[in-house]
Structure 1
Amino acid sequence: MIVFSKKTNTLEQDLYQYNLQDTPEPNLYREIYPYDQIPMVTFNHRRVPMFPADEIWITDTTFRDGQQSRPPYTVKQITDLYDLLHKLGGPNGIIRQCEFFLYSDKDKQAVYKCLEKNYKYPEVTSWIRATKADFKLAKDMGMKETGILVSCSDYHIFKKLNKTRKEALDMYLGIIKDAIEIGIKPRCHFEDITRADFYGFVVPFALELRKLMEETGVPIKIRACDTLGLGVPYPGVALPRSVPGIIYGLTHHAGFPGELLEWHGHNDFHKAVVNSVTAWLYGASSVNCSLLGIGERTGNCPLEAVVIEYASLRGSTDGMDTTVITEIADYFEKEMKYRIPPMTPFVGSHFNLTQAGIHADGLLKDQEIYTIFDAEKVLDTPAKVVVNSHSGLAGIAHCMNNLLGLKNENKLDKKDPRVATLKEWVDKQYESGRSTVIYNEELLEVAREMLPELFG
């Protein structure tokens, strides 16, 4: 069949119709996933075109996947974080949706309280078991859309569900039809897509969903779930691990528009962020994330990371308030007593902090030399220096300027004799055998005693 593509403005030839391959035995891709070795990254050098969607956005799974790896959030914590997500996402809804469990009384109370806020964004959506009773529950609670688990690898179909591909496909289609009949828009979670037979099951299943959309007029979303973080972003990498190949295949071969495609990735191989961005670049409108990346095992894609990536790709925050990222980090640490690893980008206590004297000297001259961007403007987090045996005069001067808010002509220079006085004290600490850093409170206390004039 030859069709004119509005995406490429060319005639395109598609002679092959992908049909379900109902194999008697599971395809576990043992040559790629030997299990007793690290998974293989294989290439077939087939490159697919990069076509980002007209619009891209973020969805949040903090209150669903994020609760599968930590003690459940309280109702207050959920509603507070929901407020912060609303504030961070801005009026244009770049953070488009949040998904929730609906089962416990606490879950229901949190959902109702978030719905009462009447925010347009993030939209409250749910994740449920695929039963008629759960569909009715979602409908009764005011959900317009819900996530439904439709596992697509043979690991899940044969080993977990104990079904054939045909049996699984028929079961999934029946469940999705039930959701539509009740009046719920389905979001189909294609679990374990990076170990699935893409042309033998994934594309044929997606084609059936597209037919169902055409028959009912109800939009059906596909969430491509990289359940074990096995996706690979490299050009020319082979399926089933190819993130470009998965997104291109769903748009080109299955005919799904970008606005109905979402990527959900885990971080088992340190690729959650780059895989999410790759999904955007190859045509998916949505990437699914959690705050601070908290999620099952190694976690999900950190939402704050893709907020920054969005601005990098689009050249604008499009109304997002990035300073809220710091508010969220402070809330986790102060209100929830959650310890964020210090070196975590954008939210860790050591982000934008230097201990090296030569770096501190550069910061004192011009902070642009050793910082990635103006974090005080972008994240409401100024560049910081911690004092230790390597800080030198410049490090102490920079630290005192930050702590006392000294700017312009009031700033301390590393040649200031008062800085030398503090350095003498610092040097004596380490000459006496100290091995720990000098914390800000301690430095301020010493400075107040030795240099009271700085404190007015």
Structure 2
Amino acid sequence: MYNYKLQNIDKPNLYKDIFPYDEVPKVVFDGVQLPMDLPDDIWITDTTFRDGQQSMEPFTLEEIVKIFDYIHELDNDSGIIRQSEFFLYTEKDRKAAEVCMERGYKFPEVTSWIRANKNDFKLVKQMNLKETGMLMSCSDYHIFKKLKMTREQTMNMYISIVEEALNNGIKPRCHLEDITRADFYGFVVPLVNKLMEMSKESGIPIKIRLCDTLGLGIPYGQVALPRSVQGIVHGIRSICGVPQDRIEWHGHNDFYSAVNNSTTAWLYGCSSVNTTLFGIGERTGNCPLEAMVFEYAQIKGNAKNMNLHVITELAEYFKSQMHYNISPKAPFVGSEFNLTKAGVHADGILKDEEIYNIFNTDKILGRPIVVQVNQYSGLAGIAAWINTYYRLKDEDKMDKKDKRVEKIKKWIDNQYNMGRTSIIRSDEMDALVKKLIPEILEKKEERAC
């Protein structure tokens, strides 16, 4: 096999043909078709308390512990959400990590993140953590422009901090920052090859996190490096010999590709993908944890014994307790993700909700399908609203031909004829149903009892 040596160049390789800066980045194709290599075991890791928290008001200790408990409940000992990483820089961060560790959960395991210096490493030792992530910027944008160092100096610095971790029996997780703008063969491969040598000599597994820091990764085939997700993962596997269970993808969403890139990383040999709840994170955010839960379920055919209702509980907690604004259209967690406004869709739902609902959202997420009533809803939309709002089943369901539904429609039509522009609120609909169809409320109360 060819021995890739560090290319310690004098001037940075900034790939200006691909990243001209004053123009939109380019996609270059090399025509190379790579084989899929889906690991038998794939999983999710969480960085809500590290990368995610950087983009928001700092979490309180109570919020961190509560969210950590929620993530544990969501995983439900399935092992799908394996780890959660924490900052260690403030007393609050260290206390939060300590309290979460005291919970004694198998999943998620508490890990940390540090910069590549030995002073930060002291914090990891003080916390008695088994594993830590460490920043290793690998593009020339970072090496030459941010660190103001050569590639050789940078690599030596990274090797030194990994040696410190290994000497103390701690698993290093090497975060290769900005890998989608890095010289893959001139810096990344020589660095990772050296790390694998150190891992073999020490007997301690070294993990490699592939960080798509600006969301520049491209998921589809025959794309040239450095932007090819397939190419990066395949190269780390085949050239550097990194085992699948030691490779992790960390993606951002600057080009709407965080989910696709993460799934592609799984498909081409990466066991782990790094996420945050609801995709929180710098700029456009990280890959959403809840999205990868459903990607996992689709790829593997199930979500094991995960408690997916907790996703809904987490969304409510972020909205009500942390005042975080989740987009109404956000899949799985937005207030309107399974809301229907169109009359023709409502008519389909009236016949069978499977026609226009992605899956049984009530059973899986505790979120029954919702129909919104406006001037375009028609009789079908009104009947569908009644059936979904009161969760009527089988013979209890209202028919759009029911005369009382027609009376409700006349009231709604009159509202808009008088110039109304807003939707009909649920409390207004509820009052109309109480007045015109009181037996529905009686049935609701019977079910509650």
TM-score, normalising length: structure 1:
0.95
Aligned-residue offset at 1:450: 4.1
1:380 corresponding residue in structure 2 = 366
Aligned-residue offset at 1:291: 0.2
> What is the DSSP-based 3-state SS (H/G/I as helix, E as strand, rest coil) of the residue aligned with 1:344?
coil
Kept after mapping to 2: 8 A contact 1:259/1:285: yes
Q: For 2:328, give the aligned amino acid.
A: P
> What is the DSSP-based 3-state SS (H/G/I as helix, E as strand, rest coil) of the residue aligned with 1:186?
strand
1:259 corresponding residue in structure 2 = 245
Instruction: Output aligned runs, 1:8-407, within 5 Å.
Output: 14=1, 16-407=2-393
Kept after mapping to 2: 8 A contact 1:385/1:399: yes
Aligned-residue offset at 1:93: 1.1
Kept after mapping to 2: 8 A contact 1:139/1:183: no
Listed one character per residue, the Cα deviations across residues 222-269 of structure 1 (whole Å, up to 9, x for unaligned) are 000000000001100000000000000000000001100000000000
> What is the DSSP-based 3-state SS (H/G/I as helix, E as strand, rest coil) of the residue aligned with 2:381?
helix
Instruction: Point out where structure 2 has 5 or more consecutive residues left out of the alignment.
Output: 443-449
Aligned-residue offset at 1:25: 0.6
Kept after mapping to 2: 8 A contact 1:232/1:275: yes
- Sequence identity of aligned pairs in percent? 57
Q: For 1:62, give the aligned amino acid.
A: T
Kept after mapping to 2: 8 A contact 1:363/1:398: yes
Q: What is the count of residue pairs matched by the alignment?
A: 442
Q: For 2:146, give the aligned amino acid.
A: K
CA distance in 1, matches of 2:5, 2:241: 14
Kept after mapping to 2: 8 A contact 1:251/1:258: yes
CA distance in 1, matches of 2:395, 2:357: 22
Kept after mapping to 1: 8 A contact 2:30/2:224: yes
Moved more, 233-242 or 75-84: 75-84
Moved more, 100-109 or 384-393: 100-109
> What is the DSSP-based 3-state SS (H/G/I as helix, E as strand, rest coil) of the residue aligned with 1:393?
helix
CA distance in 2, matches of 1:441, 1:65: 40
Aligned-residue offset at 1:361: 0.6
CA distance in 2, matches of 1:47, 1:202: 21
> What is the DSSP-based 3-state SS (H/G/I as helix, E as strand, rest coil) of the residue aligned with 2:73?
helix
1:426 corresponding residue in structure 2 = 412
Listed one character per residue, the Cα deviations across residues 20-50 of structure 1 (whole Å, up to 9, x for unaligned) are 1111110000000000000000101112111
Q: For 2:253, give the aligned amino acid.
A: N
CA distance in 2, matches of 1:301, 1:18: 32
Aligned-residue offset at 1:208: 0.2
Listed one character per residue, the Cα deviations across residues 47-104 of structure 1 (whole Å, up to 9, x for unaligned) are 2111111210000000000011110111111111111111111213100000001111
> What is the DSSP-based 3-state SS (H/G/I as helix, E as strand, rest coil) of the residue aligned with 1:279?
helix
Cα RMSD of the aligned pairs, angstroms, is 1.1
Aligned-residue offset at 1:453: 4.1
Kept after mapping to 1: 8 A contact 2:38/2:270: yes
> What is the DSSP-based 3-state SS (H/G/I as helix, E as strand, rest coil) of the residue aligned with 1:148?
strand
CA distance in 2, matches of 1:406, 1:259: 47
Aligned-residue offset at 1:322: 1.7
CA distance in 2, matches of 1:358, 1:147: 51
Aligned-residue offset at 1:402: 2.2
Q: For 1:123, give the aligned amino acid.
A: E
CA distance in 2, matches of 1:368, 1:134: 53
CA distance in 1, matches of 2:137, 2:6: 15
Q: For 1:241, give the aligned amino acid.
A: R
> What is the DSSP-based 3-state SS (H/G/I as helix, E as strand, rest coil) of the residue aligned with 1:382?
coil
Aligned-residue offset at 1:401: 1.8
CA distance in 2, matches of 1:386, 1:128: 48
CA distance in 1, matches of 2:391, 2:352: 16
Q: For 1:20, give the aligned amino acid.
A: L
Moved more, 34-43 or 441-450: 441-450
Kept after mapping to 1: 8 A contact 2:87/2:93: yes
CA distance in 1, matches of 2:292, 2:133: 22
Instruction: Point out where structure 1 has 5 or more consecutive residues left out of the alignment.
Output: 1-13
CA distance in 2, matches of 1:24, 1:318: 52
Kept after mapping to 2: 8 A contact 1:86/1:122: yes
Q: For 1:145, give the aligned amino acid.
A: E
1:4 corresponding residue in structure 2 = none
2:429 corresponding residue in structure 1 = 443
Kept after mapping to 2: 8 A contact 1:135/1:182: no
Kept after mapping to 1: 8 A contact 2:349/2:356: yes
Kept after mapping to 1: 8 A contact 2:219/2:261: yes
2:447 corresponding residue in structure 1 = none
Q: For 2:140, give the aligned amino acid.
A: D
> What is the DSSP-based 3-state SS (H/G/I as helix, E as strand, rest coil) of the residue aligned with 1:67?
helix
Moved more, 37-46 or 16-25: 16-25
> What is the DSSP-based 3-state SS (H/G/I as helix, E as strand, rest coil) of the residue aligned with 2:49?
coil
CA distance in 1, matches of 2:55, 2:78: 31
Kept after mapping to 1: 8 A contact 2:116/2:157: no
1:412 corresponding residue in structure 2 = 398
